[in-house]
Amino acid sequence: MTWFKRSDAMADSSVHSQPASLALHPLEWRVSDRPVDYPEAVAAMERRADQIHAGTAGELVWLLEHPPIYTAGTSARAEDLLDAARFPVYPTGRGGQYTYHGPSQRVAYVMVDLKRRGQDVRRYVWRLEEWVIRALAQFGVTGERRAGRVGIWVDRGGGREDKIAAIGVRVRRWVTFHGIAVNVDPDLGHFAGIVPCGIQGHGVTSLVDLGHLVTLAEVDSALRLAWEDVFGDAAAEAP
């Protein structure tokens, strides 16, 4: 399965290096206190990605929620949209297939400059996974990768595995956007309108569904704490 979308511009060796002035802009964390409409969020991400590439703005991690929607990644299959009338459906340029976004799900859109971070998209995706895993661990939840299955999974026992976080990214001119979505306490019934990420035979879960009564603010704090371990100067590396 494709889980990231890479712009053709990345393969162009003539793309200029980032201006040194970019180093003057520290990473910014932004939290939106209202649900953000999806087209508004995509437009904002694209503007910021262009500014990062131009060296006029720093990297950004944007924490937000969306109203109930489905989004279709670049590998989405029509048959995996089971109830098109339930919520608005937005095609999107990120990698992956269908996913649900809605209230009480923490979406983290990550706009960073991979020219400064190794120019390795697969390592970047591994780090996003590791970031989620380490954040979940702060609540006593063991999140795991699964070969051939995008996202972060929780072993429920008895052969049952549920997805707790989705990952889908796009990279353009070595600047990332889109990112992750962690289920804190969304209405899990809303996932019934799609085949999440095109994966049959497995369910979805959330922190609250697992018995951890945490808030979005607490998840935000866990993400910020885990960020430095994974993306900081002494960043974790893929094995």
Instruction: Enumerate the active-site residues.
Output: 197
Which tokens sit at 104? 């009480």
Which tokens sit at 146? 């699964």
In single-letter form, the type of residue at position 112 comes to V
Q: Within 10 Å of residue 47's Cβ, how many Cβ atoms?
A: 12
Distance CA 124, CA 81 (A): 29
Q: In what order do the strands lie in the sheet with 69-72?
A: 89-91, 69-72, 98-101
Distance CA 22, CA 34 (A): 30
